[in-house]
Chains A and B, each alone.
Chain A
């Protein structure tokens, strides 16, 4: 049996030994600190309250080849990319940016899109102003691990007042056809004052071997900026995905996230939004469809730090087989954050007696003039509705799939990029058929 932690630490040392000048760079010093912290923390166990229902033991005794070579061709990609989706399309295969497969169409005056490593070399001041400011390497072992290896991924910078007309789509593809592969993408999105952009992260796997993605994305949303952020996961059953997205919002900014987990063996998404300005609004939508032995865990945080902002959250899941789902939604309203509106709702349909859903809303409110509401439901499909549909000649399976699709509808309609919505609708309809 492999000890993934030991293996990663050894990897780090050998990479470091192969470096020349870079070992002295400030970034590498950050990496060293992060590694030290990761060594102290180790992978989380269910004794850690935040990981109570998500056991990574089966991940941490496997070996993965990080940043290894791959054999992906243009034809492979054609087969599983999102149809009709145009714009700035970037491919990262086993973590590595593939310039040859990628297309950047937006003019440099609208947006700068660069592999992180390149951006670190060419815009070190800009990158270092923001890099690592939001990600928590102190308490989060996976984030520390990601930081220790930071290099792959993308830096996106939208200058003040710019509206990025073409959306930006990042494909993270693991090619697990011949071996276990691992990737640790690290993304940094800086959206300046009054700028607007649509960002999508898509996670896909090729092949049957095990794959491990440990992704960290930091998003800085400046004053008056509008950001839409979509995360679409359609990985294989043998994939482990731990992904953390850290967002900081300034005054009057708008942030809009939708996380759709279509498939994946083990998924843990952390979406942490700091509403660090007044009159911000943050929206979080989620949809997940675990089946078989899959496990999908969404942890979210809406941290209201300033007055007069609003957060609004709706997560929905359909669980089948022996799958497990977790939803943990935290709302913090700090003492200063008077007149906060915070809404949270998590609704689940559990279709099999062996499937389980664990929901935990967590509200911590220090201000007194706030409006907060939360609610979770976990149940079966409505029998009355099912009978009504069947009494009109609709077969039981068809009636169930109509009801399940209807259940998902209010989240699906939140996806504002038409080709992505069509892609999701098609896959979801097939899944629910």
Chain B
């Protein structure tokens, strides 16, 4: 589904991603961990199409398409979804109106008819229930004045509505209370299917108890320096990153 080969990306002349290789197949869950500033959000943003980054080398293939050639909105319509580490507040645009526009723009891209108001509302209600998203939040301006946890839940709610093929969750667990964490994880799990894949960026083993990964990767200084299975996450929780950093310095 997703094939990242030797991906290099920089911003303001500073190389942040320094040769990423990663393959994600349908049905898989990949966890990406790594110290602060190692480039996890950068990788997520580059995949979603943030234009500030300069791609200085490598390739990204998504279902046979050259992802790096597509605009952010085209990537979204092709099935990529990024749950932001820091969701943006947009005053004056209500969550519900924004989502309606998003759903129908994507349908247009795929050559489908737009949903009418009733169909859309039915679908939204169902998805809101799935992630226990409070109805009153939908009528408010997008993320404006939302609590940290409400913002994260709104991201997962949007994911549920947009039904992506590949969801990239960037620290969706941070800022969530224990109950919210479980609800969000259940939401993610209920959307899992053999055709879909998820990349979970996280610092904590806790989330991975709920969303069990098939693979765990450690990103450090712009490279994936170690990959393993869910046991690797437990080892990291226990030992921290120093031993990995030491291994890298040795090489």
Contact of B82 among A383, A389, A391, A406 (CB under 8 A): A391
**Cα(A385)–Cα(B84), bound, Å:** 12
Q: Is B105 an interface residue (CB 8 A)?
A: yes
Of B49, B81, B109, the contact of A390 (CB 8 Å cutoff): B49
Q: Which residues of A contact B88 (CB under 8 A)?
A: 382, 384-385, 387-388
Contact present for B71 and A394 (CB under 8 Å): no
Residues of A contacting B49 in the complex (Cβ-Cβ under 8 angstroms): 387, 390-391
Report whether A406 and B102 are in contact in the complex, using a CB–CB cutoff of 8 Å.
no
CB distance from A383 to the nearest CB of B (A): 8
Interfacial chain A residues near B101, Cβ < 8 Å: 394, 398, 402
The answer to whether B90 touches A392 (Cβ under 8 A) is no
B93 near A403 with CB under 8 A, answer yes
Nearest opposing residue in chain A for B92, CB measure: A406
Considering the complex, give the chain B residue whose CB is closest to the CB of A409: B92
Asked if B98 CB lies within 8 Å of chain A CBs, one says yes
Contact call B90/A385, Cβ cutoff below 8 A:
yes
Is the Cβ of A387 less than 8 Å from the Cβ of B50? Answer: yes
Interface of A is mostly: helix
- Interface size of A by CB at 8 A reads 24
Asked if A45 is at the interface (CB within 8 A of a chain B CB), the reply is no
The answer for the CA separation of A402 and B71 in the assembled complex, in Å, is: 18
B184 within 8 A of A: no
Q: Are B93 and A392 in contact (CB under 8 A)?
A: no
Partner of A394, one of B51, B73, B75, B82: B73
> Counting CB contacts under 8 A, is A380 at the interface?
no
Question: Which residues 104-153 of B have a CB within 8 angstroms of A?
Answer: 105-106, 109, 141
Residues of the B chain whose Cβ atoms lie less than 8 Å from the Cβ of A229: none
Q: Complex formed: what's the CA distance from A399 to B51 in Å?
A: 15
Q: State the CA gap A392–B90 with chains docked (Å).
A: 14
Q: Which chain B residues (82-98) contact chain A, with CB distance < 8 Å?
A: 82, 84, 87-88, 90-93, 98
Tell me if A343 counts as interface (CB < 8 A to partner B): no
Contact with B along A364-404 (1 / 0, CB 8 A): 00000000000000000011110111111111101100110
Most B CB atoms within 10 A — which of A388, A408, A409? A388
4 closest A-B pairs by beta carbon, nearest first, are A406-B92, A393-B76, A390-B72, A393-B106
22 residue pairs from A and B, CB less than 8 Å apart: A384-B88, A387-B48, A387-B49, A387-B50, A389-B93, A389-B102, A390-B71, A390-B76, A391-B49, A391-B72, A392-B98, A393-B106, A393-B109, A394-B101, A395-B71, A395-B73, A398-B101, A403-B90, A406-B91, A407-B92, A408-B92, A410-B92
